[in-house]
């Protein structure tokens, strides 16, 4: 709530600053506009349409924005002190048994607080009205967007204007460029201005623009620059500038592509790692082929869904933090189910891998069908918190999505925590002891049963955690587990059973390799190539990257 | 309900309970003379269940409506519901069972092209009748199938045309993206031929496929980003089902926006949007022949009736259920069959088939018409923009009905489909 207010406040300040810069913008609405606003709620469709025309012909960007809101059906009317007032509705929420909505003024969009929806009457935008609004919006939408409070919208509008490269828009872009404070919107505006000049300027201006575009590493400019470089009518200086700019842009493109591929590989690798980590613990350390691993992930994902709904219903204003709560909850839910599974059945079947395989497969079917019965066969909707949507632009032409950055971080933390647990704590010592020699550890007083149960629960919890993370990039449905189980096994087997380092290396390697060959081969053949590669690799090294060596005859 | 006699009421109740019984794929128990059996062949389990269950519900609702008004030619309709479980071989087996064992008068069913191809020989060899309600890639002309969904020229081409038009943004570069199976492959073949015919240079068309259930769209979105630099680029997407969520999310997260590079989807409808976080999809487009937001009196009735039916029949989702294009096509298919039977005064497949030609019906999307000879349907084409609540805002609509062309004039200009003057597919004279 507070952050939203802050945004609104900064919006007002920003808008006020914008209005001050606009000499033409009228501070108070003219009588015609006031009359038009009243007419908008009139019964007569003719009058409503005329009112839209009055507002549209003011050419005032803020009225154009208002018309846009009207078209989207978010304009409401309310009566205050006997006077009709039009407001623009923002986000809706439910408080108790009442639906409430944030509202803002029609022109300046100053926040007017949150009011119950029942106090407002929607100003309906029927088809006729929408048709009347459309021409005004189309003409001015992009330019109006240059004054939008959201830097991403401003940036999008700048890109659009640059691509259109219409001569008439240069002054608008130049004016916006002077005011722009956001780094990337500024960059897009500078690029747009150079593109406009490149298309419409004189000889010197074009050479200048080409240099600027080269400096800005503008991929959008390549077609125009290529035309200029091949243009027989252009001066040698222009053509040289264009050729040089293209070279700079291409070099930069190679760099961004390389960084992008590396990031994508790291991202896919960390997803694979998160999925495989729990399996590596259970399969690698305990020798249990856990076919229900995927379903434990699904449980984690559904736990996230439940936490999300709970936040939405109970604390809508803290909705963004639901994910932080969902992470431990999904871990605990999956761990609890894992514990029940281990104590209930698996412990009777240690040392009989085929039976555990069948048993866990059966368990996976039960969990899957249970989820289907409880939540329905259709996928459920898990929204990303706002801090995981969108991406950070780190360099020109390269945006790294927040959700992927987060997952890379989460995988790193999970691996570090696991190493710490296994190699720096007493519990870890006992786990390793039981793994190496169960009979001897039991003789020395380690309670092997307890160690088994905690290890299995820990592995299951890691699966739950992976499921929680996966909600941010994929679908949540009853068959979620099946989509990931094959990849998880592939990573563990390639890495070498029983070696965590192998799992880490294998997920990084498979992730990087997939992303490295996908641009050339496409997604379908990329996948085929990876599978063939894994098969060939396992032919040469059946024990995987890191074979377990030791005196233990069982291994 | 008031004007019904008590007997009608009891009969209706009995039939409704039969319908529910049949819904559990229990063999139909009413064998009396005054019923006529129809088959419903939609997957109720497996991967396609998400989409196909809604079609079964719609058909059952239409049956209930018809029965409440006295049935077809005085006979109540007794639906036989079978579950081919998203298994293509099982589709053929179940179709055979419906035609030979249950001896149904007509079958409503199938979704994927591969399931339709699998039952096609069964219907052709046994002279059955199938109403197929989903938009598809065309290039088919069967005597025993009526296609109530769109042909390529009723969905694919108008979608691309809209984006090329001034109103749609005048886009000049097209990224064709699809899931790797028959519909996207054929659709993109037709789209490419269309774009080339409209003068789009081959360099401005990119084509790419992903496996089913693909989750990692990083590379492809990166490619689209580079493709769209310089502007004027859009995506024509035939990505199916599940993969749409990660695709749209990645698209938004890498900073691509619908204003600069819109995605026109051919396989995303209201029913699929139910299970999605739609925030990343808002502003992107879809081309269909029907949207739940169509503003006609018939559609309001249809939407309300379906929500009420879903609630009454205790279907999952209850009155939060939505309607979409294939559901509308499935719904009016039942009525078209009823009208044809009444016109032919017979349940015989051959008589009914001839009576279907040229049949019209006031469907929720407006009055639609069955083609005079090619077994497809005249329908309007709509372009919608995805809204936050998973509904579509209709932004463009064809003036009248668009004639169906099972053989696209861009890829098979020499072929036609005619069951009146020819025997199905024929070579057009040059």
Indicate the DSSP class of residue A543. T
**Could B218 and A474 be called an inter-chain contact, meaning their C-beta atoms sit closer than 8 Å?**
no
With an 8 Å Cβ cutoff, are A264 and B275 in contact?
no
Q: Contact at 8 Å (CB) between A163 and A195?
A: yes
Confidence band (pLDDT; 50, 70, 90) for A53? confident
Mean per-residue pLDDT, B105-131? 94
Does A545 map to a domain? no
Query: How would DSSP label each residue in A476-528?
Result: B-TTHHHHHHHHHHHHHHHH-TT-HHHHHHHHHHHHHHHHHHHHHHHHHHHHH
pLDDT value for B182: 86
- pLDDT value at residue A27: 52
Residue B4 has pLDDT above 50, yes or no: no
From first CA to last CA, the distance across chain A in angstroms is: 57
Compute the distance between CA of residue B303 and CA of residue B272 in angstroms, rounded to an integer. 16
In tens, the pLDDT along B340-362 reads 999 999 999 999 999 999 999 99
pLDDT score for A28: 61
Which band of pLDDT confidence, cut at 50, 70 and 90, is reported for residue A6? Answer: low
Residue A21 binned pLDDT confidence (cut-offs 50, 70, 90): very low
Q: Which residues are within 8 A (CB) of A241 and not within 5 positions of it... i.e. 6 or more apart?
A: A206, A207, A208, A210, A211, A214
On whether both A331 and A386 belong to a single domain, the answer is yes
Shared-domain flag, residues A126 and A159:
no
Shortest CA gap A376–chain B (Å): 7
Closest Cα in chain B, distance from residue A234 (Å): 21
* B8/A341: higher pLDDT: A341
Residue A83: its H or E element: strand A83-95
Crossing angle for the helix pair A151-164 and A183-200, nearest 10 degrees?
10
> Is the per-residue pLDDT at B9 higher than 50?
no
**Is the pLDDT at A323 greater than 50, yes or no?**
yes
A171 shares its domain with A135: no
pLDDT at B92 over 90: yes
Summarize pLDDT for A119-148 with one digit per residue, the tens.
887 777 665 676 677 667 766 667 777 777
Whether residue A157 lies within 8 A of chain B, CB to CB, comes out as: yes
Percent of chain A's residues with pLDDT above 90: 28
The rounded percent of chain B whose pLDDT value lies above 90 is 62
Are A475 and B245 inside 8 Å of each other by CB? yes
Q: What is the pLDDT of residues B29-75, one digit of tens each?
A: 444 568 999 999 999 877 777 788 899 999 999 999 999 999 999 99
CATH of the domain at A438: 1.10.3470
**Do the chains contact at B249 and A223, CB–CB below 8 Å?**
no
What's residue A553's pLDDT?
Answer: 44
Query: Best mutation site among A72, A267, A401 for testing chain B: the one with the most B CBs within 10 Å?
Result: A401
Average pLDDT, chain A: 83
* Tokens 């930069």 sit on residue: A252
Contact between residue A498 and residue A255 where contact means Cβ atoms under 8 Å apart: no
Q: Is residue A368 situated within a structural domain?
A: yes
Whether A79 and A199 map to the same domain: the answer is: no
C-alpha B339/C-alpha B73 separation (Å) is: 10
**pLDDT band with cut points at 50, 70 and 90 for residue A273:** very high
| A485 or A24, higher pLDDT | A485
Element spanning A448, H or E? helix A448-470
Residues 221-240 of A with CB under 8 A from B: 221-224
Q: Which of B426 and A85 is assigned the larger pLDDT?
A: B426
Separation between Cα atoms, residue A367 and residue B393, nearest integer Å: 39
Residues A49 and A134 in one domain: yes
- CB neighbour class for B356 (10 Å; exposed up to 12, middle 13-18, buried from 19): buried
| Stretch (H or E) spanning A440 | helix A438-443
Q: Please tell me whether residues A161 and A126 are part of one structural domain.
A: no
Residues of chain B with Cβ-Cβ distance to A483 below 8 Å are: 213, 215
| A359 and A297 fall within a common domain | yes
- DSSP letter at A282 equals I
Chain A CB contacts of B257 under 8 Å are: 152, 156
A241 within some domain: no
Contact between chains at B229 and A222 (C-beta distance less than 8 A): yes
For residue B295, the model assigns a pLDDT of 87
3 state DSSP class of A399 = strand
CA distances A52 to A86, A131, A337, A406, A417, Å, are 14, 10, 60, 46, 61
Q: Which residues contact A171 (CB under 8 A, 6 or more apart)?
A: none
Burial code of B305-340, b = ≥16 C-beta within 10 A, e = fewer? bbbebbeebebebeeebbbbbbbbbbbbbbbbbbbb
- Which of A142, A168, A190 is at the close of a domain? A142
A161-184 mean pLDDT: 81
Would an 8 Å CB–CB cutoff place A163 in contact with chain B? yes
- Residue A212's pLDDT band, with cuts at 50, 70 and 90, is confident
Residue B133's Cβ-side half-sphere holds a number of Cα atoms within 13 Å equal to 29
Distance CA A244, CA A230 (A): 13
What is the pLDDT of chain B when averaged over all its residues?
Answer: 87
pLDDT for residue A410 is more than 90: yes
Same domain, A375 and A523: yes
Query: Residue A555 falls within a domain, yes or no?
Result: no
pLDDT of residue B16: 47
Q: What is the pLDDT of residues B303-341, one digit of tens each?
A: 999 999 999 988 877 888 899 999 999 999 999 999 999
Give the Cα separation of B337 and B377 in Å (integer).
13
pLDDT of residue A301: 95
Kindly state whether residues A207 and A264 are assigned to the same domain: no
Q: Which of A377, B61, A376, B136 has the alpha carbon at shortest distance from B81? A: B61
In chain B the domains, ranked by start, together with CATH numbers, are: 6-151+293-381 (3.40.50.2300), 152-290+401-418+423-427 (3.40.50.2300)
Question: pLDDT band for position B12 (50/70/90)?
Answer: very low
Are A34 and A85 contacting, i.e. CB atoms less than 8 angstroms apart? Answer: no
By CB neighbour count within 10 A (0-12 exposed, 13-18 middle, 19+ buried), where does A340 fall? middle
Q: What is the DSSP letter of A380?
A: B
Sheet holding B106-109, edge to edge: B76-82, B35-41, B106-109, B130-132, B145-147
* pLDDT tens digit sequence for B216-274: 898 999 999 989 887 789 999 999 877 888 899 889 888 888 877 899 999 888 988 87
The answer to whether the Cβ–Cβ distance between B277 and A221 falls below 8 Å is no
Contact map slice: B 248-287 vs A, CB within 8 A:
249-250, 252-255, 257, 259-260, 274-280
Across the range A533-538, mean pLDDT stands at: 92
Q: Which residues of B touch A397 (CB under 8 A)?
A: 225, 229
Q: Do the Cβ atoms of A447 and A261 come closer than 8 Å?
A: no
Set of chain B residues whose Cβ sits within 8 Å of the Cβ of A267: 218
By the 10 Å C-beta count (0-12 exposed, 13-18 middle, 19+ buried), A85 is classed as: middle
Check residues A258 and A171 and name the one with the higher pLDDT.
A258
- pLDDT at residue A167, as a whole number: 74
CB contact under 8 A, A390 and B231: no
Q: Answer whether residue B77 shows pLDDT above 60.
A: yes
User: Hey, which residues 98-117 in chain A have their CB within 8 Å of chain B?
Assistant: none
Please give the residue that has the higher pLDDT: either A353 or A297: A297
Instruction: Spell out which residues of chain B touch residue A479, defining contact as CB-CB under 8 Å.
Output: 47
In a domain, A548, yes or no: no
Inter-axis angle of helices A222-229 and A236-279, to 10 degrees? 150
Q: Which is it for the CA torsion B300, B301, B305, B308, positive or negative?
A: positive
B86-89 contact pairs (CB < 8 A, 24+):
B86/B43, B86/B45, B86/B46, B86/B47, B86/B48, B86/B49, B86/B52, B87/B43, B87/B46, B88/B112, B88/B114, B88/B115, B88/B118, B89/B118
Shared domain for A284 and A395, answered yes or no, is: yes
Domain that holds residue A172: 150-234
pLDDT tens digit string along A515-527? 999 888 888 888 8
Q: Interior CA angle at B27 toward B25 and B28, to 5°? A: 115
Q: Which band of pLDDT confidence, cut at 50, 70 and 90, is reported for residue B26?
A: very low
Of A234, A269, A290, the domain-final residue: A234
Residue A546 in any domain: the answer is no
HSE toward the beta carbon, residue B62, CA cutoff 13 A: 24
Q: Is residue A135 situated within a structural domain?
A: yes
Q: Which of residues 256-275 of A touch B (CB under 8 A)?
A: 257, 260, 264, 267-268, 271
What tokens were used for B245? 């969520």
Band the pLDDT of A192: cuts 50, 70, 90.
confident
pLDDT on residue A353: 82
pLDDT for res A549: 60
A377 strand-pairing partners: none
Give the mean pLDDT of B13-22: 45
Helix axes B88-96, B113-125, angle to 10 degrees: 30
- Looking at the structure, do residues A178 and A131 belong to the same domain, yes or no? no
Residue B23 binned pLDDT confidence (cut-offs 50, 70, 90): very low
**Which of these three, A142, A177, A198, is where a domain ends?**
A142
Q: Which of B210, B259, B276 is facing A523, going by the closest CB pair? A: B210
Q: Do A383 and B277 touch (CB under 8 A)?
A: yes
pLDDT for residue B45: 79
In this prediction, residues B285-298 reach a mean pLDDT of: 93
Token pair for residue A541?
């090294």
CA distance A429 to chain B (A): 38
Q: Is the pLDDT of residue B8 over 70?
A: no
| Residue from B86, B229, B257 to probe the interface with A (highest A Cβ count within 10 Å) | B229
Residue A311 lies in a domain: yes
Percent of chain A with pLDDT over 70: 90
Judged by a CB distance cut-off of 8 A, whether residue B214 touches chain A is yes
Q: Determine contact: B208 vs chain A, CB below 8 A.
A: yes
Q: Is A316 found in the same domain as A217?
A: no
Q: Which of B16 and B220 is assigned the larger pLDDT?
A: B220
Q: What is the pLDDT of residue A415?
A: 93
**Domains contained in chain A, number:** 3
| Three-state SS annotation for chain B | CCCCCHHHHHHHHHHHHHHHHHHCCCCCCCCCCCEEEEEEECCCCCCCHHHHHHHHHHHHHHHHHHHHCCCECCEEEEEEEECCCCCHHHHHHHHHHHHHHCCCCEEEECCCHHHHHHHHHHHHHCCCCEEECCCCCCCCCCCCEEECCCCHHHHHHHHHHHHHCCCCCCCCEEEEEEECCHHHHHHHHHHHHHHHHCCCCHHHEEEEEECCCCCCCHHHHHHHHHHHCCCCEEEEEECCHHHHHHHHHHHHHCCCCCCCCCEEECCCCHHHHCCCCHHHCCCCEEEECCCCCCCCHHHHHHHHHHHHHHHHCCCCCHHHCCCCHHHHHHHHHHHHHHHHHHHHCCCCHHHHHHHHCCCEEEECCEEEEECCCCCCEEECCEEEEECCCCCEEEEEECCCCECCCCCCCCCCCCEEEECCCCCEEEECCC
Residues B156, B266: Cα–Cα separation, whole Å: 7
pLDDT in tens, A461-507: 999 999 999 999 888 888 888 888 888 889 988 988 777 889 999 99
Q: pLDDT tens digits for A324-348?
A: 999 999 999 999 999 999 999 888 8
Q: Which residues of B touch A391 (CB under 8 A)?
A: 253-255
Query: A420-458, pLDDT tens digit by residue?
Result: 998 999 989 998 888 888 888 889 988 988 998 999 999
d(CA B393, CA B104): 40
Instruction: Give the nearest chain B residue to A519 (CA atoms).
Output: B219
* A95 burial level (CB within 10 Å; 0-12, 13-18, 19+): exposed
- Candidate from B226, B249, B277 with C-beta closest to A219: B226
* Closest alpha carbon within chain A to B249: A473
Among A127, A376, A382, select the one facing B316 at the smallest CB separation: A376
Average pLDDT, integer, range A286-310: 92
B220 close to A (CB below 8 A): yes
Q: Does A399 touch chain B (CB under 8 A)?
A: yes
ipTM value: 0.73
């Amino acid at each position: 709530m507070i952050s939203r207010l802050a945004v609104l406040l900064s919006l007002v300040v920003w808008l006020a600053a914008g209005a001050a810069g606009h000499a033409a913008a009228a501070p108070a609405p003219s009588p015609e506009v006031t009359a038009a606003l009243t007419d908008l709620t009139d019964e007569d469709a003719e009058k409503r349409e005329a009112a839209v025309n009055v507002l549209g012909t003011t050419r005032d960007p803020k009225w154009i924005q208002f018309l846009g809101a009207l078209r989207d059906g978010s304009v409401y009317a309310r009566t205050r002190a006997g006077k009709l007032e039009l407001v623009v509705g923002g986000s809706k929420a439910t408080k108790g048994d009442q639906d409430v909505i944030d509202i803002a003024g029609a022109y300046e969009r100053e926040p007017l607080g949150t009011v119950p929806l029942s106090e407002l009457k929607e100003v309906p935008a029927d088809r006729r009205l929408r048709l009347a609004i459309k021409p005004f919006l189309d003409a001015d939408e992009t330019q109006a967007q240059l004054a939008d409070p959201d830097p991403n919208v401003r940036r999008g509008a700048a890109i659009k204007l640059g691509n259109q490269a219409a001569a008439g828009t240069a002054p608008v872009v130049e004016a916006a460029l002077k005011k722009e404070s956001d780094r990337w919107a500024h960059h897009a505006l500078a690029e747009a201005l150079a593109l406009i000049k490149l298309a419409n300027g004189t000889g010197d201006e074009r050479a200048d623009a080409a240099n600027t575009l080269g400096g800005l590493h503008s991929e959008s400019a390549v077609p125009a620059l290529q035309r200029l470089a091949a243009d027989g009518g252009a001066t040698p200086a222009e053509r040289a500038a264009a050729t040089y700019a293209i070279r700079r842009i291409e070099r930069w493109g190679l760099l961004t592509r390389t960084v992008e591929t590396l990031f994508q590989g790291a991202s896919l690798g960390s997803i694979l790692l998160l999925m495989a980590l729990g399996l590596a613990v259970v399969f690698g350390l305990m020798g249990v082929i856990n076919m229900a691993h995927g379903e434990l992930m699904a449980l984690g994902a559904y736990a996230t869904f439940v936490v999300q709904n709970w936040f939405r219903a109970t604390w809508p204003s803290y909705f963004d933090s639901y994910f932080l709560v969902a992470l431990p909850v999904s871990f605990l839910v999956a761990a609890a189910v894992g514990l029940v599974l281990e104590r209930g059945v698996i412990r009777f079947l240690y040392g009989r891998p085929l039976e555990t395989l069948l048993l866990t497969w059966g368990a996976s079917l039960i969990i899957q069908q249970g989820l289907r019965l409880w939540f329905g066969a259709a996928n459920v909707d898990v929204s990303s918190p706002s801090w995981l949507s969108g991406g950070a632009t780190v360099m020109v032409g390269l945006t790294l999505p927040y959700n992927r950055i987060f997952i890379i971080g989460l995988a790193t933390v999970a691996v570090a925590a696991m190493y710490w647990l296994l190699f720096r704590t007493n519990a870890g010592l006992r786990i390793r002891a039981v793994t190496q020699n169960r009979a001897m550890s039991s003789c020395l007083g380690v309670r092997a049963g307890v160690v088994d149960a905690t290890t299995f629960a820990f592995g299951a919890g890691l699966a739950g955690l992976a499921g929680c993370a996966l909600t941010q990039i994929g679908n949540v449905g009853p068959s979620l587990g099946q989509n990931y189980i094959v990849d998880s096994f592939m990573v563990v087997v390639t890495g070498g059973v029983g070696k965590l380092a192998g799992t880490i290396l294998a997920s990084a390697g498979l992730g990087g390799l997939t992303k490295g060959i996908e641009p050339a081969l496409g997604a379908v053949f990329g996948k085929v190539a990876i599978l063939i590669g894994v098969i060939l690799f396992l032919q040469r090294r059946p024990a995987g990257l890191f074979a377990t060596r030791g005196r233990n005859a069982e291994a | 309900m008031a004007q019904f006699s008590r007997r009608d009421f009891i009969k209706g109740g009995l039939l409704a309970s039969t319908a529910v019984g049949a819904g559990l794929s229990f063999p139909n128990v009413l064998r009396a003379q005054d019923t006529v059996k129809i088959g419903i062949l939609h997957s109720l389990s497996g991967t396609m269940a998400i989409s196909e269950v809604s079609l079964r519900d719609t058909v059952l609702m239409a049956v209930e409506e018809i029965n409440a008004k006295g049935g077809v030619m005085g006979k109540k309709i007794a639906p036989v519901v079978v579950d081919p479980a998203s298994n293509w071989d099982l589709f053929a087996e179940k179709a055979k069972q419906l035609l030979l064992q249950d001896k149904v008068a007509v079958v409503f069913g199938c979704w994927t092209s591969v399931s339709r191809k699998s039952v096609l020989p069964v219907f052709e060899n046994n002279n059955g009748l199938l109403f197929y309600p989903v938009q598809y890639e065309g290039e088919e002309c069967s005597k025993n199938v009526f296609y109530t969904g769109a042909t390529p020229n009723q969905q694919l081409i108008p979608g691309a045309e809209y984006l090329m038009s001034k109103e749609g943004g005048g886009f000049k570069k097209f990224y064709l993206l699809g899931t790797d199976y028959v519909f996207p492959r054929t659709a993109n073949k037709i789209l490419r031929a269309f774009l080339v015919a409209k003068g789009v240079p081959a360099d401005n068309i990119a084509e790419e496929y992903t496996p089913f259930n693909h989750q990692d769209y990083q590379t492809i979105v990166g490619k689209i980003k580079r493709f769209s630099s310089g502007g004027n680029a859009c995506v024509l997407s035939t990505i199916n089902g599940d993969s749409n969520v990660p695709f749209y999310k990645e698209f938004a997260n890498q900073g691509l926006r619908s204003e600069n590079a819109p995605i026109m989807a051919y396989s995303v409808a209201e029913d699929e949007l139910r299970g999605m976080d739609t925030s990343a999809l808002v502003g992107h487009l879809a081309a269909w022949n029907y949207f739940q937001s169509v503003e006609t009196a018939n559609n309001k009735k249809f939407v309300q009736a379906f929500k009420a039916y879903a609630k009454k029949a205790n279907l999952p989702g209850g009155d939060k259920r939505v309607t979409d294009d294939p559901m509308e096509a499935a719904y009016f298919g039942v009525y078209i069959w009823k009208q044809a039977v009444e016109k032919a005064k017979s349940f015989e497949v051959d008589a009914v088939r001839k009576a279907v030609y040229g049949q019209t019906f006031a469907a929720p999307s407006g009055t639609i018409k069955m083609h005079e000879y090619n077994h497809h349907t005249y329908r309007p084409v709509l372009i919608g923009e995805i809204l936050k609540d998973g509904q579509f805002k209709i932004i463009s609509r064809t003036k009248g009905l668009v004639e169906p062309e099972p053989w696209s004039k861009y890829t098979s200009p020499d072929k036609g489909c005619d069951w009146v003057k020819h025997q199905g597919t024929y070579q057009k004279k040059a």
